[in-house]
Structure formats: C-alpha cells, structure tokens
Amino acid sequence: QQPSSPPSSSPPYEVVALLDRLYNKQSDNEEKHAIQQQLQQYQGTTFNWRYCLAHLNEFNDPYVWFFAINTVERTVNLQWHQLNPAERQHLRQSLLQLFSEYPPNVPAMHRDKMAHLLARVERRECCIADSTAYGAFVETVTQLLERKFPLGLALAGAIGDSVIETMNREGPSSFLQIVHRYAPSIMSALNRYCRLFVTLAMGMSSGTEFDLVSAERKNQYCCQLLAVVQQYFSWMRLDQLDAALMSNLAVLACSWDVMRDGALGGVGAYTELLYRNERLAPAAGVQLAIGVYGVLDAVVKKPTDELYQDKVCDLLRQYMKRGWPYNSGLQACTDALLQNLFEFTISSKSPQALMDRVNLWTYVCGGPRYADDEDAVWPMQQQQEEQQPFRPQLSADYAHQLMSFLNMTLFFQSYPSLDQLDDDEQDENSETELQRYYNQHIDLIVLLVQRLEPEQLDNALRTLLMAINLPTPFGEGRRLFHAMVDTFKGWCQMLDGFGEQEIRTCMMDYATASKLAVALATALHGKFQSVDYIIYQVTASHIQLLIELSGVMSAFVQFANRMVAISQQLFQALVQFIIETKNWIQLGPETNVHIEGYGVHTRKISPAASTEQLFSIISLLPKYLKHYPDANEDNWMPVVCAAIELITFFIANVALCGPQTCTFVFNQLYQGECVSSKLAYLKRSTRIQVYRMVCFCLLRLESEVKDAATNNSPAAGGPTPDSPRLVQYLGVIGSGILDFHPDCWSKASTTEQQQITQTLTAELNDLTDLLIYFDTQMSSVMRTHLGNAMYRMVEKVIYIFRCTQFVSGLAANDASGCQQLIDALLDFCAQTVGTLQSKLDMVLLKQVVELLHELFVEEGKLGLRRLRCAHTLLKTLRKLVPDQRNRALVPVLMQVVLDELLPVVTRDDRFRADREGLLQYEDVLGEQFALLHDLLHHRWQHFVDTSPLMRLDPQERGMVQPEAFLAVMHAYGYVLTACVGYPQVVGTVLASLEMLEERRSLYKLPVFANQLMPLFVPSLLKLAVSDIGAMHMEQLAKSLYGMSRIDPMLILTTICNMGLVRDSAIYHMLETVDDFTTFHTLLQQIAKEAKTRLPEEVPVNVASFIA
C-alpha cells in the first residue's frame, strides 16, 4: 500500500509551528502539554508514518526530522502487530532504502537513530515471520559494510544493541536464537575490516579509499569498529570465533603508537573475552594467549600513556585469573614473560598504578589476598585440557629481585610518592588506600621470601631486622626509640642528630616495617634454626625496649607535644610498637600446660620472653592510662587503646604467665588508680574499653577462686557476696546512680538537675555497653558473677524510676534531656533482661519488666518516646518468653500484652503518626505480632489443653484460656484485613499461621475450625487479590490450602459469594484439587482474573475482626 499524498493544508508547516512553540523557552508546561496533544493527533492523521517515510529526506528542520522518525518509531513500538503484512513490508523496505541512500558522512545522530529503528523493525518482524527474512537483512548489513563502511558498522552495532536489550528484558528467546545463527557472518565481515586496519597499522597500503583518509579518521574508524566487535564478544557464542580475528586484534592492540584509540579498543575486546570466561575454539584460544603475551611485550617496549597501561593491567589480571588459558605452547617463554611483567611493574608512574600491578604478582605466587576473585574460575583452561591452571615458576633470583623492589617502594624514605595515597577514607573492607597498598605489598613479600634459598632468606631477614651498617626502616625506628629513651633519662642528647622531618619519615616507615617484620617472622618461624635465632633476638630487644619506653612515658608524651607537626606519627609508631608485642612474645614452641583452676591450655611463648619480663610489662602498662593533660586527645587515645588491648591479651592468655596473672594485673591497675576512678579524661569509647578490661579481669579472678558448678544457678532473694571487688568497681562506674537521692534532685537548681540527668544518662549508657559486650564474651559462670554484682545497681535504677516522680518532673523541665535519659534507661533495662535474665532474682526481673511497662504507660501521656518505649518493651518480653525458667512470669506477660499493649499499639492513631529517627510504626507493629507468635508457639499449653489424652485426638482439644486465644487470633485477622499497608507485618502473621499449623495443628482446633475459619478464609482471599497479594501468594496459598483440608466447602462457598471465579473450569478444578502445587496455581489464576475487574466488584468484610 502506497502512502497517500500530502493534503493541501501542508501539515508539515503546522507541525513546524507547533514544534517551535514546544521548544520555545517561553512556553509553560501547560501550553507544552496541549501542544503535545495536538502533535499526537497529527501522528494519527495527516502526519502519520506513511507520510513521514515518503518525505523524511525532505525535512531539513532537525526538530521536524526527529518528530517524523519518532512517529515511525511509535508505530513500530505500539502498532506493529496491527499492521498487515503489506504495510509492514512497505515500512521495512522504505526505511532500508532511505538508510542505504545516505552518504557515508551522514551526521552520526541521524545515522544511528535510523540504524536502531531498522534493527528494531527487523527484530519484531523475525519474531512473527519467516526467520530467513532476517538472513536477508544480515546480508544487506554485510553489503553495506563493503560499500559504505560507517552505515554498515552502525547497523551491525544496532543489531548488537537489540540483542542486549532483548536479553535484559526477556531472557532467552527465539530472536536470540536467530541472531546467534547469523552472528558469525557479521563477525566475518567485521574481521575483514580488522585485517584492513592491521594493514594500515603496519604502514602498508590497503588498496582502498582508507589509504586517503587522515590518520585521525583512521584511528576513529578503527575505534568504532572494535567497539562493535567488543560488544559482540559480550553476547555471541565464543566458540564461533575465528583464530584470524584473534590474531588481527592482537596486532591492533599493540598499535598504540599508530592508532591510540584503536589499540585501546583491541585491548578492551580481549578483556571482554576473558570476562565472559567461556571456551574458545582451540586455534582461537592459542591466538588469544599469543596476543596477551604480545600486548605485555609491547607495553614495556613502546611508549604509552597511563590509560593504555591501566587497560593492559586489567587484561593481564583477567588472563591470570582464568588460569593462563591456552598457553601450553608458550611455557617456554616463561622467563621472558616474567621479565616483561617485572619491567611493567617497575615502570609504574604512580603508587596507584603500582598497587594494581603488584596485585598481578599474587596470581604468579598464589597469594591469599585477592581483592575481586569471587569469579576466579577457569572454564577456559579446564574445558580445554582438563588440567590444573598454569602458574609460572618463579625462581629464587626473580623472587629476590622483585622483593627488593617491593621493599624499596614500601617506605616513604625511598618512595616519597606514597604521599599521593589517601589515608582517610575507608573502602568496603575498612581499609584506606594506603593501608591496602601496605597490606598488598607485605602479603606479596611474605610469599616471595618463602621462595628464596636458605642462604638468601637468612641474609634478607638479617638485613631487614638486624642490619648494623646498612640503615633500614626497622632498625632506624628502633634506633630512634633508643635515642629517645637515652635522652629522656638524661644520659645524652641523642636526639640532636634527628630533624623534625627525619623523625616523621622514620616513624611512619617504622610502623610499616614493624608490620612487615611480624608478618615475616610469623610465616618463617620454626622452619630454619638460623631464622628462629634472628626472631628470638629481635623479640628480646623488642621486650626490653618496650619496658624502657614505658618507663619514660611522661617524657615521651611531653616530647611529642613539643613536636606538634609530627606528634601524630610519633604516637602511631608507638601504637604499632605496643600492638606487635603480643605477636613477638608468641613466636615460640607450642606446649600444653596445666593451669590450676583453668585446666590444660596451649602455651606459645618465645624463649626470649621470660616471665619476669612479661610481669614487668604488665606492671608498666597502666602508666598509659594516666591523665596526660597536654597530650593531643585524638593522637593519644589510640596509644591508650593499644595498651588496653595488650593488658586484655595477658588476662585472656593466662598460660603465658600462670594463674596469678589476673591477680597481678588487677593489683597493678589498682595501684595505678585505674579501678578507683571513672577516668573521665578519656574519650568515652576508650573509657568503655577500660571498663570492659577491668570487669573482664575481675570476672576471671572470680572464676579462679570459685567452683563453676556452685555458681551456675540463679541467685535467690538477692546476690551472694562473692564478687565484692566487682560490685565495688561497678559502683565506681555507676556512682551517680547509686548516689542519686530524689529529694536532693527536687531541691537542686535547673542547671544542677541538667547535670544530674546527663550523669545518669552517661552511666546507664556505660553499663549497657558493658552488658552488651559480656553478653557474647563470657561463660555462664561469669554471667552469674556479673548478675550478682549488678543486683544492687539494677535495684537502684528501679527505685529511681519507679518510686519517684522523677521522669514526669524531668519531662516538664528538660524535654530534650528526658528523651536521652529515657533512651538510655530503655536500653539498660532491655539489655539487663537479655544478658542476665537467667542470673537475676525472679522478683527483680519482674520489677524490670514492670518498670518498662510503667514507662510505656507514662510515655502514652508524655509522648516523648512513645514508639521507642513500646518497641523496647515488646523486644524485652520476646526475650523472656522462650526461656522455661520464666514460666512464672507468663501470666503477667499475657496480661500486659493482651490487655494493654495489643489494643494500644494496634489501634491508637498516635502510634501510626509517630516516627522517631529510623524507628517507624511498622517496626513496632511487627514486633507486637512477633511477640504474639512467640507466646502461642512457646507457651501453647497456656492457651490449649496439651494433656496426653488430648494429644491422641487433636480435634477434641479443649481450651485453657479461650478468651486470650481468641484475642490473639482476632488480632491476626485484623492485620490481614486492616493493616495490608504494612507488608512485613502481614508476612509475620502469615508465617505464624503456617508454623502453628505445622507444629500445633492449629486449623484442627475446634474453636478455630468452628469460629475463626469462616472469618479468616474471606480475609485471606481478599488479601490474595489485593495489590500486595503477589508478595505473599505462597504463604496465602499454604494457609488456604490447609484450611481447605479441614472444610473444603467453606473455601468454595466463600469464593462464590465473593464473585472471584467466573470460569467454571477453575471452580471445578478447585473442587477436585488434592495437592498444594495445583491449588497454588489456581489461586494465582483467581487473583489474576480478579485484578482485571474493578476493585468494587470484589466485596470485603473487615468489621468481623474489629469487633
């Protein structure tokens, strides 16, 4: 059918006017919308696709041209199946003719738009017509490549784009099968041009018009060609690739000096193949390996830029990750490969580039730290020869050569460019860029040193750790520390020879050298006697230096404070020095020793570390916890944390110094006034670590002197006086709580009241953090001791907040402070129950729950932390429900939950409107119904008669508390009908119904089958056809299927009454269905059919559950 002639009213001119107004900046949105409506009318009448195709080449105005081509595209996208075969054929042929007549230099925007439209047309047509038509289209593409290269290339790229679009949207399809059939012929045509550009890259004449094209244009064409090739590599079958194509790509990838962008495209195409990680034809695979080797050889012999080198680095990484595939004939080139890789590594222009290239060597050495190797599998290699992945053999000389280079680039003294690396922002592995650089270097050096010959290894280790005449970062750092000690003792002015910048560099490099030394010593210990001798010497000197440094710590801090510009580096080096101590002293033979009170323990201790020296260290470490008012807090706190870590290490490893360790540690801490003070001068995070350490020490002391069996039961009627020192220390931490008197607070000024509130808040937070830490870090015996020690504190907290009007008075005077205090109190109570519930007196535990309940009631009036109080109370009750030891509390819990929490949380509009930070109403509602489920699941016997006689016949079971059971079930039904806007809560209820049916045969319960099931079935069906039904369809189907097994007619009758099924075949299938899979499928069909009708056609009754 031929297009009609244009009407006399000349629609294009009207369209031009409308388009001018549409794109005029002065037109407002309302006017633009009206114009778009008019333009759409033209697209369906006078300016339709036939007119556009007939006159497309006549439109010189770009707005009109794009509107015309969009008109055709709109027809293809929305009306293609409505066109008859003749119309579709006319549209295809007209587009192809227009495109074929374009000159090669047509504007790229017009060319690509037409190419993508053509590809879309052919994709749609091949899905409804004979697939051979697509073969004719591909033939046209290859002919265009020969005659008009830019046009043919654009069409080939558009085909690839349509494939990727189809894969992303539809997955496997008939269109993809057709395209895969013709992809080799397109790739063959593209390869002919690859060969042509190879000829040009080699400086030879191609005998084509490309000889007359400028070098820049050649580079551009080659880049565009290889971009299409790379795109095809991302989706076509790789076993169809020809070896000649691989060879041509190798030459182009090495032609950076001639065609820069083309070379980048060649490397990118190779890398795409390796990302696919699929098997190639053997000949093509060999050419791939030759190409990778050739690219590496070229990048070290030809001058290139950083972008190209980065691309080559990524190519090499992918090739090595795949197990060096197809290199069976190239293994004789291993030495040349390693030499090229080494030269490529040392030629790095920046530490970032060096880091990427050092990573390549981990694939040579087989290192453990791969940054992105989740996909490091080798189907290329394994499918080719079913052999182990190849790894080049690195000789001792190569290892020594590379190790020397890495050692040089590890330190600021020899590699100042390290300043370019970021040391502030952390990545997903909690490493900064500089830390990742260090870790990668150290890991690789540890791998390399193990490939050295014994003599080389001995020399390398001596040079690093014990060099006298040769200055090394490790030795220079220690020499500087010794100079400080001598100077601070007044023996001599050894620091006069060090400048400020020299000290800065020395300390930074020493911290790194210390990590390297420990890593090497740990890896090599026990392998060679000479190596062990070196390690023990270093250990002895390290311990002695730590003792000497700790003895002059006050002078060290003063010195660091004077050196303001480098104090951070001084303290960082000291931190590293302290932390590495525990590694050095454990480098020794392993033995099993019996420790009185602890049994048999494994003991690893260096022969160079005597017990006297270790006790000397312990006695000096509390000095780091003293107050140094002049020290920069940000720099000094890490030193304190390092000392705490080392003290904790000694407490936890009693095998090192014997059973008297904890006693000695506590005495030293006591003498250092670390036990009698709250250490308010420390940062809170650091102070909490001290609290944990001291409490851990005291708990270990209690375990030393008490028999575990006699202390593993909860206290009755109050604490046993077996932890006086721990009670005393907790009294120091919570002194503000213990000293609080309501009368004094009420008489205090507003400022004093605010200070008291802040003190109570801080102490509650500190005690909560202790409970959180020891919840997972201690045994049941220690938890018993902690519970006894905390008794007095919990009692006082209950007294303060239950027996006074403290909270209401505070809320009136200081709302902000009250909110913070309530938050701290809620956390403390919840954590007390979670950590100590089995160790506290039942009376006290009940009082904690009642306190939370009273806070919840009070917050209903104050409204400061309404959601938080409800959420914390619910979470706390959930912790109590499963524990059988709390069965005496169940009546109280049920009364609070059913009579007070459930009505308020479920239906109080104030809760729905609240939002406190990240906490939302849905979180509280979800916790509410999770608690109801726990009550039913763990305390079923409180609702239903579970006597042995009743278990024989589940359908005759009686109810113990029918009112409570019905209240919970009606709450469940209310969620399913009135709370569908909270899908997580709905999911919780459905999961509960499913579990209760599986574990407790809920649906067979007479009260459920007779009273509740007629209410649940319509609610579940209504939910299934709602907007969120698909989200819960499987759970809904399980519930409805289970109920249908009890009362089949109820399901069928309800479906009929609700008018959900209009297809009688589906209804008859429901009558006979006897398996869940079929029922699930039928329910999905019912929901799908119901959604096609108006919502009001599906009736619903919500009021039944509300009553």
In angstroms, the CA 678 to CA 676 distance is: 7
Contact 287, 250 (CB under 8 A): yes
957: Cβ contacts below 8 Å, ≥ 6 apart: 944, 945, 946, 950, 1005, 1006
Provide the residue count of the chain: 1107
Q: What is the mean pLDDT of the chain?
A: 85
Maximum average pLDDT range among 204-208, 567-571, 698-702, 706-710? 567-571
Per DSSP bridges, beta strands 599-604 and 590-595 are: antiparallel
Q: Which of 557, 466, 553, 555 is nearest to 513 (CA)?
A: 466
Instruction: Choose the weakest-confidence range: 227-231, 616-620, 887-891, 965-969.
Output: 887-891
Q: Report DSSP letters for 909-975, one per residue.
A: HHHHH-EETTEEHHHHHHHHHHHHHHHHHH-GGGTB---HHHHH-GGGPPBSSHHHHHHHHHHHHHH
**Span 935-962, pLDDT tens digits:** 999 999 999 988 776 655 666 678 889 9
Tell me the one-letter amino acid at 162.
S
Stronger pLDDT, 1107 or 83, i.e. the higher one = 83
Number of Cβ within 10 Å of residue 1028's Cβ equals 15
pLDDT of residue 808: 64
Instruction: Choose the weakest-confidence range: 69-78, 299-308, 421-430, 660-669.
Output: 421-430
In our burial notation (b when 16+ CB lie closer than 10 A, e otherwise), range 738-760 reads bebeeeebeeeeeeebbebbebb
Q: Which of 1045, 1043, 1023, 1041 is nearest to 1032 (CA)?
A: 1023
Stronger pLDDT, 794 or 702, i.e. the higher one = 794
Band (pLDDT 50/70/90 cuts) for residue 30 is confident
Could you give the residue ranges of the DSSP H alpha helices within 778-841?
Answer: 780-802, 806-813, 815-836
Token output for 742: 């309501």
In our burial notation (b when 16+ CB lie closer than 10 A, e otherwise), range 272-290 reads bbbebbebbeeebbbbbbb
Instruction: Choose the weakest-confidence range: 504-508, 611-615, 700-704, 966-970.
Output: 700-704
DSSP state of 627: -
pLDDT of residue 548: 94
**Span 712-723, pLDDT tens digits:** 444 444 444 457
Q: Which of 596, 839, 884, 842 is nearest to 711 (CA)?
A: 839
In angstroms, the CA 796 to CA 787 distance is: 14
Residues 21-28, mean pLDDT to the nearest whole number: 80
**Span 1066-1087, pLDDT tens digits:** 788 888 888 888 899 889 888 8
In angstroms, the CA 423 to CA 243 distance is: 47
pLDDT reading at 203 higher than 50: yes
Percent pLDDT > 70 in the chain is 88
Token output for 118: 């053509």
Stronger pLDDT, 255 or 782, i.e. the higher one = 255
pLDDT of residue 915: 66
DSSP run (H or E) holding 604: strand 599-604
In angstroms, the CA 849 to CA 879 distance is: 11
Token output for 1078: 């079929």
In angstroms, the CA 399 to CA 277 distance is: 30
Longest Cα–Cα distance in the chain: 110
pLDDT of residue 602: 81
Q: Which of 325, 428, 432, 464 is nearest to 381 (CA)?
A: 325
In angstroms, the CA 337 to CA 297 distance is: 8
Per DSSP bridges, beta strands 915-916 and 919-920 are: antiparallel
Stronger pLDDT, 283 or 845, i.e. the higher one = 283
Distances (CA, A) of 404 to 452, 463, 475: 12, 11, 17
